Amino acid sequence: MTDRSHENGPPQVNHFNGPVFHGSVSQGQFAWDNATATQNQQNVGTPGPVAPGYEALAERVAELLRQLPGAGLAEEDRRNTEEAAAEVLEVIGQEEPVEEGRVRRALNQLRGALAPVATGVAAGATMGAQEWALAAIGGLTGG
């Protein structure tokens, strides 16, 4: 389709055979010209809004979650760590004032989920998983 309303300039051409975006797009999923489409999206390790002063902790927990799939943890240890990390992000994502006691408890729960892996007590914990868990606990201790 050509619009010749710009007499002094080149004609404006509009293509309507796909999506058109006028602005930035983040984390979008699109499908067109498909009989069926199945899409999934996981925003693992992407912290949402965080109370002021907790941004660094949120980033450490998000990085832990991003590394978690490749850490070599057993299924139960991975699930426990994900749940504990989600609890930390939930607590620091609450509207102010953030309860310091809840933050400490959530962090202790996360460190506790990683401790059996870090110490090698967890069944099947590989050396790489142990080192990763130790580093993760060390990073959380500073938070």
Residue 130 in tokens: 């142990």
pLDDT at 133: 84
Q: pLDDT tens-digit profile of 80-95?
A: 889 999 999 999 987 7
* Dihedral class, residue 41 (left if φ above 0, else alpha if ψ from -120 to 50, else beta): beta
Q: Which residue has the higher pLDDT, 31 or 1?
A: 31
What global pTM score does this model have? 0.59
**Strand 12-13 and strand 2-3: pairing?**
antiparallel
**Which among 63, 68, 71, 64 is positioned nearest to 124, based on CA atoms?**
71
Model confidence at 121: pLDDT above 50: yes
Residue 13: strand pairing partners: 2
- Which one, of 48, 53, 136, 49, lies nearest residue 100 by Cα? 53
Highest mean pLDDT, choosing among 15-19, 46-50, 126-130: 126-130
Residue type, 137: I
Q: Which residue is associated with the tokens 């938070």? A: 143
